[in-house]
Amino acid sequence: MAEGAKWYVVHTYSGYENAVADTIMKSSENRKMRDLIHEVNIPMETVTEIEDGVSKTVERKVFPGYVLVKMVLTDESWHLVRNTRGCTGFVGSGNEPIPLSEKEIQDLGVEKFELHVDFEVGSRVRVTDGALEGFFGIVEEMDKEKKTARVAVSMFGRETPVELDFSELEPAED
């Protein structure tokens, strides 16, 4: 048995993405393989199109011809996905599918990661990375969607506001 489920990219005929996604999920249920194939996702984006002077909001596929599958990779699950009508194969080298990295998954917005930080507005923090590494400051504002904080850093005797990623900050030890 392989380790935990990972996200893999499956190449499909263009226009067959929805059919492939539905078939994979139905087949995994029929064959009682839901413990191996967890989820199927087609990344979508909302865009505004202007046609004949009229704007309308539409959803379209971010990567036409591709479907993302979260699964535990076994011979059984590989064959189920690979032999789905409309599927041309996994993205990877040869017959070896390559899973997406956590960074790629976050960038695609496929999974929502709960970010827990040990500081809040008004907290004293230390910068752990970048040009201001080692500097201390006070958190003035936090944007949880962007995962950034505006920090008033003391430089050359004055407070300078800078925007930093949460990953570049840690609570300062007093």
Q: Are residues 73 and 144 in the same domain?
A: no
Q: Given this model, what pLDDT does residue 9 score?
A: 92
Q: Are residues 130 and 83 in the same domain?
A: no
Return all residues near 25 (Cβ < 8 A) that are at least 6 apart: 37, 40
d(C-alpha 93, C-alpha 98), whole Å: 7
Q: Are residues 74 and 142 in the same domain?
A: no
Q: Are residues 37 and 63 in the same domain?
A: yes
- Per-residue model confidence as pLDDT tens digits over 152-173: 998 888 888 999 988 888 888 7
Q: Is residue 16 part of a domain?
A: yes
What 3-state DSSP class applies to 105? Answer: helix
Q: Are residues 35 and 89 in the same domain?
A: yes
Q: Given this model, what pLDDT does residue 2 score?
A: 41
Q: Given this model, what pLDDT does residue 108 score?
A: 75
Q: Given this model, what pLDDT does residue 3 score?
A: 59
Q: Are residues 10 and 95 in the same domain?
A: yes
Q: What is the CATH number of the domain that holds 136?
A: 2.30.30.30
Residues of the chain with pLDDT under 70: 1-3, 109-115, 174
Whole-model pTM: value is 0.61
Q: Is residue 119 part of a domain?
A: no
The range of the structural domain enclosing residue 148 comes to 124-171
- Tokens representing 123 are 């907290």
Q: Given this model, what pLDDT does residue 94 score?
A: 73
